[in-house]
Copies of this chain bind each other. A is one copy, B any other.
Amino acid sequence: MQSYALTVDKFLDHAAKWAGEREVVTGDAGRTAGRIGYAGLRERSNRLSGALAALDLRFGDRIGTLAWNTQHHLEIYYASMGAGLVCHTLNPRLTPAHLAAMVTEAEDRVLAVAVSLTPLLAELLPLCPVVEHVILLDADAPGEGFVPRPGVQVWTHEALLATRGAPVAWGRFDEQSPAGLCYTSGTTGRPKGVLYTHRSNYLHTVRALQADALAYRASDCILVAVPMFHANGWGLPFAAPAVGAKLVLPGRQTDGASLTRLIRDEGVTVAVGVQTVWLGVLEHLDKVGGELPSLERIVIGGSSCPDSLIRRMEQRLGARVQTSWGMTELSPLGTVAPLDVEPAETRASGRTPLGLDLKLTDPQGVTLPEQRGVVGHLWVKGHSTVERYFKAEADALDAEGYFDTGDLASIDADGNLTLSGRSKDLIKSGGEWINPAEIEDIVGRDPAVGLVAVIGREDEKWGERPVLVVEARQGQRLEAQSLIGALRGKVADWWLPDEVVQIGAMPLAATGKIDRNRLRADYLAGKLATEGVNL
């Protein structure tokens, strides 16, 4: 059979040829800031590859991006990957020190930065001696007062394209070549880089396009509210052109008003992002009224979403909510709920399409004899799963080739995965395990509770004991007795937290998840006791 390298430039080539007029729309605070057909996008991205070559970048070199979901960012994706460079997406919500560590480890020779982020860039650049070029995205001029450090050349995206752009032949390299680099959030440890290959991205894309998976179609108009710096933007920058779907990139703002406007103006049929974003849309509609008639489906992922919230979203937004689970190390899709499964089952994160296998083990990594209906440690193996972290000295796999997700999960008789916490968050009390996620799930159902976390504190007698930390919803009063009372009979008595602390604001990591490391550190330092209220 024909040799045919699985490289990501083929996605945009396909779209340019078969859906050349289908648009990629960029939003800015809900207004349309730009639109271009796939044929035009391909032509620009390809010439941008030529411009990058003119900057003397060589095969495998990394380009860091600090950018929002925009056409320019997408052009950097394809211009770099198509030419054999590595697109290293960075999260602009991290601190300059964190970012500098990543840029330095990755040896990013170029940083492509949204103009709106030049204040961050001004802080970051002095910490990154490896950077030689800066490309400013989304506008023609840097923010006021920006002065690059000596030795760094600054271009605007458009000027670089206009002065150095030249067509090049894309993709003439091995499909195992690196294409993208993304660091894990690092909420539970040092951030680690995952180096995606062309092959892993290509296979991830066709896996996700299956009718029983994300099932995007040419007729869809897809709103990507998940940042393009989170694990390949959940694969949308690849999947949308691969089927020739219209793509709506909202820019920086993902508030309810902005997204509502874009959904209406562009006729969005599928909206993809974390549940909090869609809650924002919901609250906006509740406030101002109105409907979203074009919207057919919302894809959510990450943490498990309560049934009641899914029902509320489906009823108010008039769209089916499709749950999924993934992680940076999985490119990111792990499991997804098929569209023809009854909504009654939505609480789970769906099934694993072909290309990723799952197994449940005990804490020591020994495969559980029973793989259905029990909670175990989740390990995975597949064509788009990390084998070794970037610049790590050893593989991250067990003897059977499986990767430890760090998640606790169960699988039902139909193969549906339900996540139930992180293994690192488990609390060992008297030699037995307490799962904070189960306690948090029950406490979180109290309408007066905003955010909730259970952490372990050292205990002389038991080893560890659970502490319940809660943040009240605005205007609500919490009482320890009622919170603990709700747990009685639902968890074992020895699981009941010994201590309940109410704090004003739960510490959050850059990804929006609760920062448990910080919470444990604050507890140890006595900060929770002084700043919080022992209920």
Chain A interface (Cβ within 8 Å of chain B)?
Answer: 1-4, 6, 10-11, 14, 17-19, 195-197, 199-200, 203, 206-207, 209-212, 215-219, 242-243, 331, 338, 340, 351-355, 357, 381-387, 397, 401, 403, 415
Q: Given A206-B206, A206-B210, A354-B242, do A383 and B200 touch, yes or no (CB 8 Å)?
A: no
Q: From residue A410, how far is it (CB to closest CB) to chain B in Å?
A: 15
Select which of B217, B353, B381 is within 8 A of A2 by beta carbon. Answer: B381
CB-nearest residue of chain B to A18? B415
Q: From residue A528, how far is it (CB to closest CB) to chain B in Å?
A: 40
Select which of B2, B14, B243, B383 is within 8 A of A1 by beta carbon. Answer: B383
CB-nearest residue of chain B to A385? B2
Q: From residue A385, how far is it (CB to closest CB) to chain B in Å?
A: 5
Q: How many angstroms from the CA of A1 to the CA of B384 in the assembled complex?
A: 6
Q: Which of A10, A17, A211, A243 has the most B CB atoms < 10 Å from its CB?
A: A211
Residues of the B chain whose Cβ atoms lie less than 8 Å from the Cβ of A338: 217-219
Interface contact B354-A243, CB-CB below 8 Å: yes
Interface contact A354-B206, CB-CB below 8 Å: yes
* Sample of 13 further A-B pairs with CB below 8 A, known A2-B382, A203-B206, A212-B217: A1-B199, A1-B385, A1-B387, A2-B387, A4-B383, A6-B383, A11-B354, A14-B354, A18-B351, A206-B354, A209-B209, A215-B215, A217-B338
Q: From residue A158, how far is it (CB to closest CB) to chain B in Å?
A: 30
Q: Given A354-B243, A381-B4, do A211 and B216 touch, yes or no (CB 8 Å)?
A: yes
CB-nearest residue of chain B to A19? B415
Interface contact A2-B386, CB-CB below 8 Å: yes
A-B contact pairs, 20 of them (CB 8 A): A1-B195, A1-B331, A1-B385, A2-B381, A2-B382, A2-B397, A2-B403, A10-B354, A14-B354, A18-B351, A206-B206, A209-B210, A210-B211, A210-B243, A211-B243, A212-B243, A217-B338, A218-B338, A219-B340, A243-B354
Q: From residue A83, how far is it (CB to closest CB) to chain B in Å?
A: 20
Residues of the B chain whose Cβ atoms lie less than 8 Å from the Cβ of A196: 1
Interface contact B209-A218, CB-CB below 8 Å: no
Interface contact B210-A2, CB-CB below 8 Å: no
Q: How many angstroms from the CA of A209 to the CA of B19 in the assembled complex?
A: 20
Interface contact B340-A3, CB-CB below 8 Å: no
Q: Given A1-B387, A2-B401, A200-B1, do A210 and B210 touch, yes or no (CB 8 Å)?
A: yes
Residues of the B chain whose Cβ atoms lie less than 8 Å from the Cβ of A10: 354
Q: How many angstroms from the CA of A215 to the CA of B211 in the assembled complex?
A: 5
Interface contact A383-B218, CB-CB below 8 Å: no
Residues of the B chain whose Cβ atoms lie less than 8 Å from the Cβ of A386: 1-2
Q: From residue A253, how far is it (CB to closest CB) to chain B in Å?
A: 30
Q: From residue A324, how far is it (CB to closest CB) to chain B in Å?
A: 15
Q: How many angstroms from the CA of A18 to the CA of B200 in the assembled complex?
A: 23
Residues of the B chain whose Cβ atoms lie less than 8 Å from the Cβ of A19: 415
CB-nearest residue of chain B to A3? B387
Interface contact B217-A211, CB-CB below 8 Å: yes
Q: Which of A216, A217, A331, A401 has the most B CB atoms < 10 Å from its CB?
A: A217
Q: From residue A199, how far is it (CB to closest CB) to chain B in Å?
A: 7
CB-nearest residue of chain B to A211? B215
Q: How many angstroms from the CA of A387 to the CA of B2 in the assembled complex?
A: 5
Q: How many angstroms from the CA of A219 to the CA of B211 in the assembled complex?
A: 11
Residues of the B chain whose Cβ atoms lie less than 8 Å from the Cβ of A11: 354
Q: How many angstroms from the CA of A353 to the CA of B205 in the assembled complex?
A: 13
Q: How many angstroms from the CA of A381 to the CA of B196 in the assembled complex?
A: 26
Q: From residue A311, how far is it (CB to closest CB) to chain B in Å?
A: 22
Q: How many angstroms from the CA of A230 to the CA of B485 in the assembled complex?
A: 66
Q: How many angstroms from the CA of A207 to the CA of B354 in the assembled complex?
A: 12
CB-nearest residue of chain B to A339? B217
Q: From residue A330, how far is it (CB to closest CB) to chain B in Å?
A: 10
CB-nearest residue of chain B to A219? B340
Q: From residue A216, how far is it (CB to closest CB) to chain B in Å?
A: 7
CB-nearest residue of chain B to A206? B206
Q: From residue A204, how far is it (CB to closest CB) to chain B in Å?
A: 9
Q: How many angstroms from the CA of A351 to the CA of B207 in the assembled complex?
A: 19
Q: Which of A6, A196, A210 has the most B CB atoms < 10 Å from its CB?
A: A210
Q: From residue A34, how far is it (CB to closest CB) to chain B in Å?
A: 25
Q: How many angstroms from the CA of A338 to the CA of B331 in the assembled complex?
A: 27
Interface contact B4-A382, CB-CB below 8 Å: yes
Q: How many angstroms from the CA of A196 to the CA of B403 in the assembled complex?
A: 32
Residues of the B chain whose Cβ atoms lie less than 8 Å from the Cβ of A219: 338, 340
Select which of B195, B203, B211, B384 is within 8 A of A211 by beta carbon. Answer: B211
Interface contact B210-A218, CB-CB below 8 Å: no
Interface contact B243-A352, CB-CB below 8 Å: no
Q: From residue A373, how far is it (CB to closest CB) to chain B in Å?
A: 15
Q: How many angstroms from the CA of A219 to the CA of B345 in the assembled complex?
A: 15
Q: From residue A94, how far is it (CB to closest CB) to chain B in Å?
A: 24
Q: How many angstroms from the CA of A219 to the CA of B342 in the assembled complex?
A: 12
Q: From residue A42, how far is it (CB to closest CB) to chain B in Å?
A: 14
CB-nearest residue of chain B to A195? B1
Q: How many angstroms from the CA of A6 to the CA of B203 in the assembled complex?
A: 10
